[in-house]
Amino acid sequence: MSMHAVRIAFMDAAASELRLDHAGLSYQAGRQVLSFTGWHADGAPFAMVTAPFDGNPVTRAGEAARDIIAAHAGPVQTPRSKVMSQKGSGLARLMGGLKSLDAGADALATRLEAAMANLQSEMATTTQIVGNVESSVTDLRAVNALYSNGAPVLPTSAGSPGPSGAPSGGQS
């Protein structure tokens, strides 16, 4: 018996309804125990640890695949100890939780990437606006210097600055 034969028997019995990620064989009190993890065709995770047994592991692997499919499809008619141990059931719940967290993290990463792209675009626009304002300040300084001949701006009679050299207030 080889683990390769166990995997083949499992996948043959699964008839494309399961994707196998892990298959393992261990011993508990001198009896064989098989463990399987993977995904159903609809994306739901599964995990199973068989009850200890003495028979052929290849035969038990095929039974395990059929048990997993049956458990996913509806109520299981065989005793729970034969179908899935408490450890396997807990592992399946954890895998489902991890898949949900992974999907949530992926959605957040996608949102963050979109927000960062928008931020970069807005930053480029803001950088261009700041450059335009800086350029306008330089242009205004040049115009002010041209019309004031470099002198400070003179106040008008109302106290506000007026054009240089222009009469302020009334007539003289």
pLDDT tens digit sequence for 33-68: 999 999 998 888 999 999 999 999 999 999 999 999
Confidence grade of residue 76 (pLDDT, cut at 50, 70, 90): very low
In a domain, 78, yes or no: yes
Q: pTM for the whole thing?
A: 0.44
Q: What's the N-to-C CA distance of the chain in angstroms?
A: 119
40: amino acid identity, one letter: H
- Per-residue pLDDT, 18: 93
CA–centroid distance for 50 within its chain: 34
Task: Give residue 49's domain range.
Answer: 3-102
In a domain, 55, yes or no: yes
pLDDT at position 172 over 80 = no
Name the domain count of the chain: 1
**Burial level of 113, CB count in 10 A (0-12/13-18/19+)?**
exposed
In a domain, 159, yes or no: no
- Per-residue pLDDT, 154: 62
In a domain, 136, yes or no: no
